[in-house]
Chains A and B, each alone.
Chain A
Amino acid sequence: MRKRGPRNYTRLTHPLVRDSRDEPFRQASWQEALDRAARGIARNRGKFGMFSCARATNEMNYVAQKFARVVMGTNNVDSCNRTCHAPSVAGLSAAFGSGGGTSSYEEIEHTDVIVMWGSNARFAHPIFFQHVLKGIRNGARMYAVDPRRTSTAEWAESWLGLNVGTDIPMAHAVGREIIHAGLVNEAFVERATSGFEEYKALVEPWTLSLAEKVTGVPAAAIGELAHAYARAERAQLCWTLGITEHHNGTDNVRALINLSLLTGHVGRYGSGLQPLRGQNNVQGGGDMGAIPNRLPGFQDILDAGVRHKFESAWDTVIQPHYGLNLTEMFEAMEEGTLRAVYCIGENPAQSEADSEQAVRRLKALDFLVVQDIFLTRTAELADVVLPATAGWAETEGTTTNSERRVQRVRRAVAPPGEAREDIDIICELAARLGHEWKYADAEAVWNELRSVSPDHYGMTYPRLERHQGIQWPCPSTDELEPPYLHGRLWDPDPARRGRLAPFGLVRHDPPVDLTDERFPIRLTTGRRLDSYNTGVQSGSFASPLRRGEFIELCPEDAERYGVVVGERVQVTSRRGSVVAPVWIDTALRPGLAFMTMHFPDEVDTNSLTIEANCPIAGTAEFKASAIRIDKLPVATIVR
């Protein structure tokens, strides 16, 4: 096995600038760097986009979106949640009017059936999975739906190894079976949902045998899942990127939500929906309004009353339309309508699907300022690089986790060199662009946010401290709400019940990148236990588990292509080609391969993936590419 030494990115300690992209960076004073950044941004007013950071604090995200909206007058603000969980937010909002997961971790310990759909939480969310394990130890039965028999799936009563991108057929077949078996929670469907008849008609063709043909999973297994989920008194449905990172990710999410509506597994203690977030503040970034369609507190920009509140609070005019999301901003770069980007803590040059295209587009910008703790690949493309602090260890503030729990982050170490806190930097730039914002500290930012977001109003810093975090909504400074959302749907009083939850009428649409004779293998992607995203953070510690990037194949395919563990092979998709060594994993089946994006400097997996985006949420289909494996002319074995 190849042993991986740490891949060290060194912290940025000074601002870097350059006059042209052909030149190397040179160290600059803050004064100079900020002046240059301000000028570069100012000259592109109207053509500006902000990449906020799903890993930074709520306070930073609040200030960043405020910068975009107030200083630059644009709603073009987004973050990498686009590349992961935007479909969850879109799907949940469409059904329930709110984009958060509906349950709490604790509830999964006290539920009866747990469905892990497209989620290898054992690796990607290990401590969440400990709550799942508590549930299992308390007697819950877990079902895993995943193309691979992952570590998560190995804990399941039943693992359903479906074809990549056939989640909707599976979900619809489960729904149809529930209906035909008479297991619909009629009281809930009648009281709290709309569109059931249409849904019933929609799923009617999806018999178990048709689903077996499409998904590859035996009808009996699908039937068993349907009965287990519907008959459970309490059930939790959890998903991760296996559901969202598809060209129709939002539809996938809706198809799963439908099952909870059908069975009443939402809005009660122990029953709910849990999208597991990939980044420490991907929930909070959206909650803070660092997305193009929502203001802080997840309040809709199209709502004039909401806009008015913010306009008076901020003394500004808010554009009465949605801004561009990350995906659309990249497209706008191509078209030349977006010319300047202020990128904070993101690495789209490596994290975007079809990364070569992303780099090309970033290079075409008139001005790129990157604010980060490392000189990432994205930062290497910038005109100005601003050294920031690590949100989680060098900054005061809060983040919001997957169960909507707002928790305090604190400064434990002093940042290196001249690195400065994100909020300071943004305020300096705002000042140069005519907006003098005075925040004494992160708490001051938070209190401003509290004043405009009812869901956060009750969360003072002292209360967050006392309760070890508080889940939103928290409108009162005296009380705490239940740990689950949408209890209103069970209210006997229609007025309090509020808007009914509509069934999502979504149709199966197979992956865009079809397999064929030239590209016969389905490549799917995911995370490993000890690594994270593009490896910028996780590459530095000496993990004994790390073995670098491999193309993982099942034993049968390895034999078929005549390759052995460690042998370097050419992996080619319709978009690009990489060389990677082979790993053999029995969790895969013939025709299914697996890679991660943790080692882009070695193997740029995202040069293979397809930029086929969910039209609603903008998330790309990382989970389904078509590839081919070719032996190299001269075999090299990596050990």
Chain B
Amino acid sequence: MTTTALGIPRRLLEFTIDGEPVRAPEGSTILDACRAAGTDVPTLCEGDTLRPRNACRVCVVEVEGSRTLVPACSRKAEGGMEVRTGTERVRHSRKIVLELLASSVDLSTTPRVREWIKEYGAEPGRFGADAGRVNEAPRVDNDLYVRDYGKCILCYKCVDACGDQWQNSFAISVAGRGFDARIAVEHDAPLTESACVYCGNCIEVCPTGALSFKSEFDMRAAGTWDEDRQTETTTVCAYCGVGCNLTLHVQDNEIVKVTSPHDNPVTHGNLCIKGRFGYQHVQNRN
């Protein structure tokens, strides 16, 4: 017996991706359909728990009849659409976007970006040594996490996770405009004077490592961070009865980072300060 509403079945749309016919349920994005079809589309600002912001524009594809390229992450698929993901025009924009990003911020901890830079033939160095960069020193103003905005691509994911989509603390926003826009707390104050409740849900969604556990930041600085030597084990938080799933990242029998599965029905990838950072007591071993 199951009485849970499963919703009205969604109708299927038929369209083409790179000439191949595909079917996707109504409401799917082009990106959903591409992934289902096994077509790799690079993404940076897209997040599986967040509404698409389509800010980075690295996922653009060509849609027949559209004057401009369209972001695959947010554009809904439509019946009869002809989507092309690998045209020269698409590859050109992706290449330029990667060059613009890599020439202005530090992408060294952004997963997969090195691979894409190679794939699209991007040359971030060609804007010259004087090309303007987002020069921000890492902000280490608390013992739990570090904000290194020199790595920030302004994807808005941290703002959305902190804001009305999940945490509703609204500790951060984009302040300023254009190239001078930065993620900031009110009055650009230190984090410790802000509305931040240190849930770390911004770290969970940050695609570039601009936000990281202090433990990860310190280990990277010391050259000891080694993901190949880490295990990830999902368990249940011990701090209250809600039952949040924690994924403990362990290196050398030390918990170095905590995440939560994004598809978990309890957390949807979110935790509170205790679940995210309150593990130290287990390893007070001597």
B240-261 CB mask vs A (1 if < 8 Å, else 0) is 1111111010100111000001
Query: Contact at B235–A537, with CB atoms within 8 Å?
Result: no
Chain A residue at minimal CB-CB distance from B190: A544
Q: Are B144 and A544 touching (Cβ within 8 A)?
A: yes
B142-A537 in contact (CB<8A): no
Residue of A nearest to B165 (CB): A137
Task: Of the listed stretches A3-11, A176-184, A347-355, A566-574, name the one at the interface; the rest are far from the partner chain.
Answer: A3-11
Interface presence of B264 (CB below 8 A):
yes
Interface set, chain A 441-495, CB cutoff 8 A to B:
468-469, 479-483, 487
Contact check, A409 vs B236: say whether CB atoms are below 8 A apart. Answer: yes
Q: Using CB atoms, name the residue of chain B closest to A546.
A: B273
Interface presence of A416 (CB below 8 A): yes
Instruction: Looking at the assembled complex, report how far the CB atom of B39 sits from the nearest CB atom of chain A, in whole angstroms.
Output: 28
Q: Within 8 Å of chain A (Cβ to Cβ): is B122?
A: no
A-B contact sample (14 more), CB < 8 A, given A468-B245, A482-B4: A55-B238, A125-B241, A276-B240, A392-B246, A399-B236, A409-B235, A469-B265, A529-B272, A531-B274, A532-B239, A538-B274, A541-B281, A542-B144, A544-B142
A-contacting residues of B (Cβ < 8 Å)? 1-5, 142-144, 164, 166-168, 191-192, 196-199, 231, 233-246, 248, 250, 253-255, 261, 263-268, 270-275, 277-286
In contact, A413 and B248 (Cβ under 8 angstroms): yes
Taking the closest CB of chain B, its distance from the CB of A183, in whole angstroms, is 26
Cα–Cα distance between A538 and B272 once the two chains are bound (Å): 12
- Using CB atoms and an 8 Å cutoff, list the residues of chain A in contact with chain B: 6, 8-11, 13, 55, 105-106, 124-128, 130, 133, 137, 269, 276-283, 373-374, 390-394, 399-403, 405, 407-414, 416-417, 468-469, 479-483, 487, 529-532, 536-545
Q: Which of A6, A399, A412 sits near B248, CB closer than 8 Å? A: A412
Q: Tell me, in angstroms, the Cα distance from A430 to B248 when the chains sit together.
A: 33
Taking A412-B233, A413-B250 as contacts, is the C-beta distance between A391 and B272 under 8 angstroms? no
A583 to chain B, nearest CB (A): 17
- Closest residue on chain B to residue A54 by CB atoms: B241
Please pick, from B243, B250, B270, B281, the residue contacting A399 in the complex, using a CB distance under 8 A: B243
Bound complex: CA A4 to CA B197 (Å):
16
Please, how many angstroms separate the alpha-carbon atoms of A104 and B123 in the complex?
52
Least CB distance from A4 to B in Å reads 11
A127 and B272 contact, CB distance less than 8 A: yes
> Closest residue to A407 on the B side, CB-wise?
B236
**B279/A279 in contact, CB under 8 A:** no
Show 5 A/B contacts (Cβ-Cβ < 8 Å), sorted by A. Answer: A125-B240, A137-B164, A279-B241, A374-B281, A416-B286
Nearest chain A CB to B101 CB, angstrom units = 31
Instruction: Tell whether, in the assembled complex, residue A469 and residue B238 are in contact, meaning their CB atoms are under 8 Å apart.
Output: no
A10 CA to B284 CA in the complex, in Å?
A: 5
Given contacts A408-B236, A538-B278, contact A401 B243 (CB under 8 A): yes
User: Are B2 and A482 touching (Cβ within 8 A)?
Assistant: yes
Main secondary structure of the interface of A (DSSP, over half): loop
Per the bound structure, the CA–CA distance linking A391 and B5 in Å amounts to 36
Q: Are B285 and A416 in contact (CB under 8 A)?
A: yes
A401 and B267 alpha carbons, distance in the complex (Å): 12
Q: Contact between B144 and A543 (Cβ–Cβ < 8 Å)? A: yes
Q: Are B250 and A479 in contact (CB under 8 A)?
A: no
Given contacts A393-B279, A541-B280, contact A529 B235 (CB under 8 A): no
Instruction: For the complex formed, measure the closest distance between the CB of B198 and the CB atoms of chain A, giving whole angstroms.
Output: 6
Q: B residues within 8 A CB of A137?
A: 164
A-B complex: 4 closest residue pairs judged by Cβ atoms: A277-B241, A401-B243, A542-B143, A126-B272
Known: A8-B284, A280-B237, A541-B277. A468 touches B198 (CB 8 A): no
Q: What B residues does A545 contact at CB under 8 A? A: 197-198, 273
Alpha-carbon distance between A449 and B282 when the two chains are bound, in angstroms: 28
> Do B241 and A402 touch across chains, with their CB atoms under 8 A apart?
yes
Assembled-state Cα–Cα distance A409/B248 (Å)? 11
A374, A402, A408, A530: which has the most chain B beta carbons within 10 Å? Answer: A530
- The interface residues of chain A lying within 8 Å CB-to-CB of B191 are 544
**Chain A residues near B246 (CB-CB < 8 A):** 392
Contact status of A544 and B250, CB under 8 A, knowing A276-B242, A283-B241, A417-B285: no
Q: Is the CB of B241 within 8 A of A414?
A: no
Instruction: Tell me the smallest distance from the CB of A511 to a CB of chain B, in Å.
Output: 25
Q: Once the chains bind, are B272 and A280 in contact (CB under 8 Å)? A: no
The residue in B144, B250, B263, B285 that gathers the most chain A C-beta atoms within 10 A of its C-beta is: B285
B21 to chain A, nearest CB (A): 32
Contact of A127 among B197, B234, B271 (CB under 8 A): B271
Residues of A within 8 A of B192 (CB): 544
Among A13, A106, A391, A539, which residue has its beta carbon within 8 angstroms of that of B238? A391
Separation of A399 and B236 alpha carbons in the complex (Å): 8
Name the A residues within 8 Å of B168 (CB-CB): 130, 133
Tell me the bound Cα distance from A495 to B273 in angstroms.
48
Inside 8 A of B264's CB, which chain A residues have their CB?
A: 468
Are A483 and B236 within 8 A (Cβ)? Answer: no
With a cutoff of 8 Å between Cβ atoms, the chain B residues found around residue A409 in the complex are 235-236
B267 near A269 with CB under 8 A, answer no
Residues of A within 8 A of B255 (CB): 393, 412-413
Q: How far is the CA of A402 from the CA of B231 in the complex (A)?
A: 29
* Cβ contacts under 8 Å, B244 to chain A: 127
B240 nearest in chain A by CB position: A125
Q: Which of B143, B235, B240 counts the most chain A CB atoms within 10 A?
A: B240
Of the candidates A105, A373, A413, the one having the most CB atoms from chain B within 10 angstroms of its own CB is A413
Partner of B283, one of A105, A407, A413, A469: A413
Q: Which residues of B contact A544 (CB under 8 A)?
A: 142-144, 191-192, 196, 198
With contacts A280-B238, A538-B239 known, is A13 near B285, CB below 8 A?
yes
